[in-house]
Structure 1
Amino acid sequence: MATTLLLGQTLSFDDNPFTAGLGAVRHHSTGAILLRDGMIVEVGDASDLRARHVDCTVVDHGDALLIAGFVDSHVHYPQTGIIASWGKRLIDWLETYTFPEEMRFGDADHAQLIAGMYFDFSLANGITSAASFCTIHPESVDAYFTAAQARGMRMIGGKVMMDRNAPEGLRDTAQTGYDQSKALLEKWHGVDRLGYAITPRFAPTSTPAQLQAAGALWAESPTCAMQTHLSEQREEIQWMKELYPDHPDYLSVYEQYGLTGAGAIMGHSIYLTEREITALAATGSGVAHCPTSNTFIGSGLCDVRGLMQRGIPIGLATDVGGGSSFSMLRTMAAAYEVGQLRGDSLHAAELLWLATQGAADTLRIGDKVGNLVAGREADITVLDLSSTPVIAQRAARADDIWGALFPTIMLGDDRAVRQVYVAGRPMMPAKGHQMLPDA
């Protein structure tokens, strides 16, 4: 069995810092992670692990910080090519940029090209798992999972179901949406490290018949995820009310059709009523917080701490391409800024939780990835906490790990990602670490 010892600073969680405070965090300034066959075997002090495990390959990352690989709880990989498109509100943005781009994904070659590009960009930014919307085309799903499988990644995705309020060529039907989703689910769900997500885009682009079909499919395959959008913009909510006039609120539409519960990932969830918050908590439905897209498209400010305090699972998300960055560091910075605008200062530990264990829990893969603990899969991101001169001079003043990490969160980008391990396998060219001979 191949055994590797990674050296560097390590940071992991014993509990949720939103509820348990900084005592929930375990930091080793001279730490080590023992890997074997793609799994984390042990995390602890470097001198102790080196003394007890002498017959292994040692990779020394110096003073870099080793954390769990980032988990992106809500993304649209087909929108990779239209990221940072200028100046639209949600519905205009969909019609002007998103729908024309998604029309191209019936071409398997185009889907494969963009899927490969998306995974390369994500890995370069330390993202090792994600839940992505594909398009209505089965080819887009096959391309996504094929690319993920080739890289050995734990990924979730699904065919968008959309049978109204979309252009010709981007609509399925309640029946074809069900049939194609079921066939893709049976083809990919549970294969290697892949998981399927039943994916109605959002209530305005699905008829009641299609939402009913989506709910039926989820009931038949409850180990899958279910992903959609909820209360992103006020205009969207008004549109939903016009289409579903008999419902008291947005979430009640999904409730009626069996689309809430553990494994449900509600993108955005900004303008929630008290009843909706109570229902999300009661059903165990999760929220994907998308701060860069919420500011870029002008949607609003999600009450992350308030939802967390109600026991709602929350994960951070880039929401590419409405989100304006593939960087989870930039996404954490945006989450901090959104919190500040709400009068709530999120701590670096809380931001990191949202980007790792919190997101993994929201996707129901938190027992597999999202934390550096024994028994988890060895998805690991290595951060250089002095990746630029500006960050380096600020980190040099730090009194503790948080003072050293926070500048990288606020100012960092892909240059801070020194290495990424997927199931224990390095995915990037060697950058700033030293391979030591076997002891």
Structure 2
Amino acid sequence: MSQQAMPAPEHRLSAVRGRLLWLRHDPFLDDPGTALAEEEDGLILMAGGKIQDVGSHAALVSRLPPGTPVDHHSGKLIVPGFIDLHVHYSQVGIIGAAGHRLLDWLGQTTFPAEMAFVDPAHARAVAAFFCDQLIRHGTTTALVFTTVHPHATDALFEAAMARSMRMVAGKVMMDRNAPASLLDTARMAHDDSLALIDRWDGMGRLHYAITPRFAPTSTPEQLEAAGALRKRFPHLHVHTHLAETLDETAWVRSLFPDRACYLDVYDHYGLVGPRSVFAHGIHLDEGEFRRLFESGAAVAHCPTSNLFLGSGIFRLAAARARNRPVQVGLGTDVGAGTSLSMLATAGEAYKVAQLAGHLLSPAEALYLATLGPARALGLDDRIGRLAPGHDADFVVLNPAATPLLAMRCQQAGSSADLLSALFTLGDDRAIAATYVAGSRMAPS
């Protein structure tokens, strides 16, 4: 069913009461034990889609005028809205389509699904379903691939705006090594993207991302056109794929023999910098990690997709090394990813980190799902925390959503342990409510 906000008057004060948990700082770089900020009986004051104040109920209740609506979430945990740093809305219908590694999967599964988006009605229907599913799973902001069709980007932005969501997306740029019906040209990609930027960037809570699919499907001329857009609009995001598989990386070397490495292809065309997000980054060397750090670019870690396609193990600890910490956030990467749930995705990130020799703390998992992707997007002044002035985007988690989760959470001796249980056992069933710009979203 469609998700619709239950709106309050634009400047009317409202409040949410419950157990609050968010991050003070980056737990990868500072003490994870002190990273979590908590209010056992907390209150969030909201107006105009923004958080006005956050604190204990005892300290803030006197500020509520008589008759102020207060949503009570006793026994629940309220955390910042989840931020999905890499997902394909056009692929939501092929989630779980098994049987291939990346390059075969693209040709046999992904491209056929994306061809259907030539139909604007299909694009609108999938975009509405996708946004509703994000909200159902507690995700309030996402960085999204659309398709090569400009109207598919229109459809996503229209659906996000109708739900007051903060959304970052862009038209896919792809002019080679794909089916003819999905190809544009360097000029078309530039001009279509420019028209979409003019139409949507900065509208409501929408942001445009320059989106070459990945280096093998863009000619040098198209990457040059993408770089020209980034130079003209330096505030825009860049969203693409990087070093997901060894076969792909070898293919890039053969296509761009003059470039030093995969990342250098994008760097050569001016696409590496702040608000540049590269999905996967599994097969990166130290020089590439250092360049990402120095440029302010980020990696979207997509553990369920990497496992599902057998692409490899992302070295999270290496990426976030204290001497040059690359910004990292979690991405579901649906449809290769197997869930839109950031709880489930964080649970898989824990396992992948274990395989790579790093014990992912609950605070670090929360960082990867909230503050980390907010910083990667350059939006941490607006999302990723429970803080005055931030968007009133947050999710209410139910520790008793299933009998097994309830039994486990009853044993939790701390907030960190409670988070650990939710990230290990939780999924969309644990989402009691999602608030977007201060409005509680509910089925119509």
| Distance in 2 between residues matched to 1:364 and 1:88, nearest whole Å | 35
Task: Find out whether 1:400 has 2:410 as its counterpart.
Answer: no
- Paired-residue identity, %: 46
What is the identity, as a one-letter code, of the residue corresponding to 1:70? F
1:416-435 to structure 2, matched below 5 A, reads 416-429=430-443
CA distance in 1, matches of 2:232, 2:13: 40
The amino acid that maps onto 2:423 is I
Under a length normalisation based on structure 1, what TM-score does the superposition of the two structures give?
0.96
- How many angstroms does 1:307 deviate by? 1.2
Equivalent of residue 399 in structure 2, options 364, 373, 385:
385
1:407, distance to aligned residue in structure 2 (A): 1.4
Asked whether the 8 Å contact 1:12–1:373 carries over to 2, the reply is: no
Aligned to 2:3: none
CA contact (8 A) 1:263 1:363 kept: yes
Structure 1 residue 316 displacement after superposition: 0.7
Equivalent residue for 2:356, pick from 337, 342, 363: 342
Q: Per-residue deviation at 1:77?
A: 0.4
**Corresponding letter in the other structure for 1:53:** L
Match of residue 4 from structure 1:
14
Contact 2:35 2:363 in 1 (8 A): no
Deviation at 1:54, TM superposition (A): 4.1
Moved over 2 A (4+): 51-55
- Structure 2 residue aligned with 1:20, among 30, 50, 53? 30
8 Å CA contact 2:187–2:225 kept in 1: the answer is yes
The reply on whether 1:259 has 2:262 as its aligned counterpart is: no
The answer to whether structure 1 residue 169 and structure 2 residue 181 are counterparts is: yes
- 1:274 CA drift (Å): 1.6
Could you tell me how far 1:398 is from its partner in structure 2?
1.2
Q: Which amino acid aligns with 1:279?
A: R
> Any unmatched runs of 5+ in structure 1?
431-439
What SS does structure 2 have at the residue aligned with 1:279? helix
2:171 aligned with 1:159: yes
Which residue identity does 1:113 align to in structure 2? A
Q: How much does 1:403 deviate?
A: 1.6
Q: Which amino acid aligns with 1:51?
A: S
Matched residue type, 1:7:
R
- Unpaired runs of 5+ residues, structure 2, are 1-10
Distance in 1, Cα, partners of 2:98 & 2:189: 31
CA distance in 1, matches of 2:368, 2:63: 34
Q: Aligned partners of 1:340 and 1:278: how far apart in 2?
A: 23
1:217 corresponding residue in structure 2:
229
Amino acid at match of 1:101: A
Provide TM-score, normalisation by structure 2: 0.95
* Offset, 1:297: 0.5
Partner of 2:205: 193
Instruction: Write the letter of the residue equivalent to 2:205.
Output: R
- 1:313 and 2:323 matched: no
Partner in structure 1 of residue 190 of structure 2: 178
Tell me whether 387-396 or 305-314 shows the greater mean CA deviation.
305-314
Distance in 2 between residues matched to 1:173 and 1:85, nearest whole Å: 29
Partner secondary structure for residue 427 of structure 1: strand
Correspondence 1:246-325 to 2 at 5 A: 246-309=258-321, 310-325=324-339
Shift of 1:429: 4.9
Contact persistence 2:148–2:171 (CA under 8 A)? yes
Query: Counterparts of 1:26-105 in structure 2 under 5 Å?
Result: 26-55=37-66, 56-105=68-117
* Aligned AA (1:8): G
Contact 1:198–1:214 (Cα < 8 Å) also in 2: yes
SS at match of 2:181: coil
Distance in 2 of aligned mates of 1:362 and 1:127: 16
